[in-house]
Amino acid sequence: MVGTEQGRLDSLKALLADIHARLGLKFGFALWDGSRVPADWPVTGLLVSIADAGVIASLLRRPKLDTFLKLHVSGRLDWRNGTLFDLAAARPDGKVGRLLRQVPKGRILRVLGQFILAPGGPGTATLSARGDETARDGTRATNKANIAYHYDVSNAFYRLFLDQEMVYTCAYFTHDHWDIDRAQRDKLDMICRKLRLQPGDRLLDIGCGWGALLCHAAEHYGVEAHGVTLAEEQVALARERIRARGLEDRVTVHLKNFNEMEGTFDKIASIGMFEHVGIDNHPDYFRTVHRLLRPRGLYLHHTIARRAKKTDRAFRKMPAEYRALVRYIFPGGELDHLGMSIANLERFGFEIHDVEGWREHYERTCRLWFDRLESNRAAAIAEVGEEKVRMWSLYLAGCSLAFGRGGAVINQTLVSRRTRGPSGLPWSRADLYR
């Protein structure tokens, strides 16, 4: 039996060495017996680490992204001496499938086939998943459970990688710099300027998070600010911050569904919340915003989006990466495309005034969040456990790469509640860039 085990391991090493040479890989492999492939690959070099033969068996039996995620989160399939960004940069030039055709398929099947019955499932990760379709019925209970799954993880955990104000949406870089605190302050101010906030305005922030925009708008623009969210831990900390800054008479946070809000507001912001609504629930969302916004009032629609497809039916088919994000990170989430947002805004009574793409801003934001989480990894593990930290690191890195490659985009669309006659907006954007 020992000879058989050693024989199949030797054949795997030979196959990996051949693939490494033919594809010109810029990373090596670390196997469960302590060896490296190529054998002379530096121990400090970038390595893909395979913890046991069951990893290969799992990938053979179920070659899905879900399998990879479970293996990685449980620590059985990992990389050393680098990050996912390094691994992405080390991809071979050209399409991997085409390059692999240089290796005889029969040989690959013979070698890997020896591992098909190896013990060990895809992983014992305990991360829960709320599912895909069942988490989009739009009810308050479902929405609350979805939001709690992601946002009520731990305020202390989010403090480890967000900026000082704990703004958990795309930052705005006025030029090429890497200061996340500055970029988030500039983002908050840009939102306020786009909404042309004035003293005495009633502002509603849909999905207000930990209250950063509410406090900024009240302190610097003299507005009466109201926020709404379903995340209980966010509400508790937001109210604590509001009290500490002496803003209780001007800032209020409501723990309720957005469509339960009443009253009329001069300006409304939705910054990174719309992604949670779900496409089938868009009519209710836009009707609610229209109901809450006064005539000619301004609404800023800030949301992540995907590129449009030939048909909306094709668009709603989820690629594997997108489905995994919804399953493990943002249950109930569903992205639209820019054309869908604009059509809905016009359909439900809004006039479009400005659209701005922030894709590269979010690429950098996610990278900075990832770097900060990695630098605080030990504290993060102590707070929420290693599995959740692994998953969140993967999600932040994956999002940064997706925005960098253009697979995901983000847009800010400024609209007003449509009425006849002048909109009342300035003739140019000059006032935004003072």
- Does 170 participate in catalysis according to the annotation? no
Three-state helix/strand/coil letters over the chain: CHHHHHHHHHHHHHHHHHHHHHHCCCCEEECCCCCEECCCCCCCCCEEEECCHHHHHHHHHCCCHHHHHHHHHCCCEEEECCCHHHHHHCCCCCCHHHHHCCCCHHHHHHHHHCCCCCCCCCCCCCCCCCCCHHHCCCCHHHHHHHHHHHHCCCHHHHHCCCCCCCCCCCCCCCCCCCCHHHHHHHHHHHHHHHCCCCCCCEEEEECCCCCHHHHHHHHHHCCEEEEEECCHHHHHHHHHHHHHCCCCCCEEEEECCHHHCCCCEEEEEEECCHHHCCHHHHHHHHHHHHHHEEEEEEEEEEEEECCCCCCHHHHCCCCHHHHHHHHHCCCCCCCECHHHHHHHHHHCCEEEEEEEECHHHHHHHHHHHHHHHHHCHHHHHHHHCHHHHHHHHHHHHHHHHHHHHCCCEEEEEEEEECCCCCCCCCCCCHHHHC
Catalytic residue among 170, 192, 215, 399: 399
User: Cβ contacts of residue 414 below 8 Å, gap of 6+?
Assistant: 194, 195, 298, 299, 300, 301, 352, 353, 354, 355
Specify the length of the chain in residues.
434
Starting from the edge strand earliest in sequence, which strands make up the sheet with 409-417, in order? 251-255, 224-229, 202-206, 265-271, 293-305, 409-417, 350-357
Give the active site residues: 399
